[in-house]
Each structure stands twice: as structure tokens, then as C-alpha cells.
Amino acid sequence: MHIPENPIVIGLTTIAALLVATSLMMGFFTKNQMPVAGRNIIVTGASQGMGKAVAILLASLGANVTIVARDLKKLAAAAEEIQAVMNANSSKYPDQKLAVVSADLSDAENAARAVTESEAQIGETDILWCCAGGANPGYFKDYQPADLVWAMNTNYWSAVYIAHNVLQRMTSRPPPVQKYPTDGNHQRKIIFTSSLIALCPLFGYSSYSGPKAALRALTDTLRQECLLYDIGVHCCCPGSILSPGLDNENKTKPETLKKIEEEDDVPQTPEDVAKYCLEELQRGQTLPVTSFLARAARSAIAGPTPRVGFLFETLLTWASTIVYIFVRRGHDGYVLQEKKAKGLPWENKDV
């Protein structure tokens, strides 16, 4: 047998062999890791934006869905849309159930009540997908303490209290009987929604990057703990979503943050975000993202978080670490432009 000695040939052969090996290993993950037909799913923050799009997508795929938010009027409007999707499905998925629960999830008792009401109407929970959240961008020094508490309540506690309650219930009983037992891995799941901001914390999001990064850290801890119970824990990290929440936060967003986002982030529709997140979850990804840029940001900070497609992810980690030197300089550049335009605050009485 002829053994090539040319280092380029050896190098290329090695890379080709590694690629073949990873694609073979990827075969282990081709099974759908999150089938939803016939399963009971609670979606929080589902009266608008991403949460509503997630609820509609899950309904279109045959899930029983409970939508949770505070405002009853917005919930009723969303429920009408979701019910229409279920009605259109009725020949394929008969008996699909929809429940509507109004609760302020930043309160632990309300969060527990929401789960009780959901289970009374659609049955024992298979999947909890937390989408409730929101940002109030601004300058750290200008916030009132109540603004910081609001951000923590809206993003962290609104997800953690209900996840805690659902996990207590899930661990006290076996998984519900599955209606379509052969369509994939029916592991029960808790899914948080963080943000690309947790992977790349930026200027202007000081009230928000903390709670969102906390959800991501909690995911790593809980994922490991929940190996004990065969319950999956995941945390979606989308970039900007064209939602009512984004319109609202843009009213107070510092101009410099707008410039950074305009340069580095392409906003996506709630429907696309829901679809890409579900695809990543179905591949078994722990930190689903919705764009290549976000994938690069994820690879740069992944640490021990499991990643599907380890070879490509590792190469991307190396590349991102280097690219970040320039990306960060670009972002810092916008902030320094603001400094130049405004001057230092103690030298400028207008600021």
C-alpha cells in the first residue's frame, strides 16, 4: 500500500477522516430529541412575540398547549389564533387541548397556581417552555433600584419559580403516557429563554444581561442535576426578535446600543425564532441559537455545556476567540465615540 508522505495530503486526509467520523457520530443524534405531538406543553409569555409564535408552532405540530401571561385581553386574542390552528389540525390531531392561564409569574405562589390550572385542563406537564421576559435598556447609573428588581423579576424569577414547581411535580411521578410513542425521544423538558446577550453582554443591557446570564448558568447546573431524573434542561439564546417587547424597549434604548445592534444583529420574526429554536432543541442542543453569529458567540463561551457537532464547534471556538478581538474593539469604539461627543459627566452639567 502506498502511504503518502506529502504533509498536505496527510493533513487533508486527516481532516476528511475527522469529518466522516463526526458525521457518523451525528447519526446518533438524528432521532428527534423533542417530539411534541400529543404532548402537554406550558408556554409562558405566550400572549405575544416569541412566546405566542412558539405556542402556535407547537399547536400546529399537535401539542396540547397552555399559554400563560398576565394580561387577559392579550391572552384571549392569542388563544383565538392558537385555537384556529388547532381547529385546522383536527383531522390529523383530534382532541387537541388549549388552556389559558393568567398569572404574574414573578410571584412563586402564582407560578404554582399556573401549573395547577394547566394540569387540571390539559394534563400532566411534559414540557415547560419559559418565554416570559423583557428588557429595559439604559445606563446603570440612571436606573432606580426598582428598575433593577423589575428586570430580575421579569427575566429570572418569572422562569425560575415555575420551573422549580414543574420540576417538583415531574420528579414525583413517572412521565405521562405518550400518544405517539415512536416519534422520538420523549424525555420531559424544562426550556428557558435567555438571549444572545447572555453570550455577548453589551453596553446598555446592565439590568438584563445579569438575569439572562443567570438563566444560562442555572441551565448548566440543572441539566447536570436532572440527569438524575432523565429530564432535559435547555436555554434558548435568540438575537433581536421583532416583537412588541422590542418596540417598547427601543423607546428607552441608548443610541449607542442601537448602533451596535444595527451593525451586528439582524432582527428576526418571532415565527423564525420559534422555528429555529425548536429545530435546535430537536437536534438535542442545550443552548439553542438562531443565527450563525449567535452560534459563533456561543462557541466562544461554551465551557462545559454540551454541544452537538463537537468538531465544527471546536474549530468555531478557535475562530471566534480571534474574531472577538476585532468585534469587541468595534463595540468599544461606538462607546468611545459617545464619550467624545458628550464629554465626561462631571465636566458637563447637562448630562
Ligand X SMILES: NC(=O)C1=CN([C@@H]2O[C@H](COP(=O)(O)OP(=O)(O)OC[C@H]3O[C@@H](n4cnc5c(N)ncnc54)[C@H](OP(=O)(O)O)[C@@H]3O)[C@@H](O)[C@H]2O)C=CC1
Which residues are known catalytic residues? 208, 212
Is residue 256 a contact point for ligand X (CB under 6 A)?
Answer: no
How is 265-319 classified by DSSP, letter by letter? ---B-HHHHHHHHHHHHHHT-SS--SSHHHHHHHHHH-TTS--SSHHHHHHHHHH
| Minimal distance, residue 73 CB to ligand X, in Å | 9
Closest CA to 193 of 205, 180, 211, 167: 211
| 3-class state of residue 168 by DSSP | helix
Closest CA to 236 of 50, 13, 12: 50
For ligand X, the binding residues in 109-168 under the rule CB under 6 A are 131-135, 154-155, 158
Quote the CA–CA distance of 45 and 52 in Å, as a whole number. Answer: 7
Among 124, 264, 313, 338, binds ligand VSD (CB under 6 A): 264
DSSP 8-state symbol, 346: G
Contact 181, 39 (CB under 8 A): no
Binding site partner of 74, from ligand X, ligand VSD, none, Cβ cut-off 5-8 A by kind: ligand X
Pick the closer one to ligand VSD by CB: 57 or 197.
197
Binding site partner of 200, from ligand VSD, ligand X, none, Cβ cut-off 5-8 A by kind: ligand VSD
Binding site partner of 270, from ligand VSD, ligand X, none, Cβ cut-off 5-8 A by kind: ligand X
The vertex-120 CA angle with 116 and 121, nearest 5°, equals 120
Pick the closer one to ligand VSD by CB: 86 or 197.
197
Stretch that binds ligand VSD, among 4-12, 40-48, 161-169, 320-328 (CB under 6 A): 320-328
Stretch that binds ligand VSD, among 73-81, 107-115, 215-223, 323-331 (CB under 6 A): 323-331
Binding residue count for ligand X, defined by CB under 6 A: 32
Pick the closer one to ligand X by CB: 70 or 169.
70
Is residue 290 a contact point for ligand X (CB under 6 A)?
Answer: no
CA distances from residue 102 to 25, 230, 246, 305, 334 in whole angstroms, order as listed: 44, 30, 22, 34, 42
Is residue 33 a contact point for ligand X (CB under 6 A)?
Answer: no
Closest CA to 239 of 135, 322, 128: 135
Is residue 56 a contact point for ligand X (CB under 6 A)?
Answer: no
Site string for ligand VSD, 204-243 (x = CB under 6 A): -----------------------------------xx---
Kind and range of the H or E element at 234? strand 231-236
Residue 128: strand pairing partners: 42, 190
Dihedral of CA atoms 259, 235, 48, 101 in degrees, nearest 10, equals: -150
How is 178-200 classified by DSSP, letter by letter? PSSTTSS---EEEEEE--HHHHS
Is residue 58 a contact point for ligand X (CB under 6 A)?
Answer: no
| Minimal distance, residue 213 CB to ligand VSD, in Å | 11
Stretch that binds ligand VSD, among 97-105, 178-186, 292-300, 306-314 (CB under 6 A): 292-300
Is residue 290 a contact point for ligand VSD (CB under 6 A)?
Answer: no
Q: What is the binding site for ligand X (CB under 6 A)?
A: 44-45, 47-51, 69-71, 74, 104-106, 131-135, 154-155, 158, 193, 195, 238, 240-241, 243-246, 270
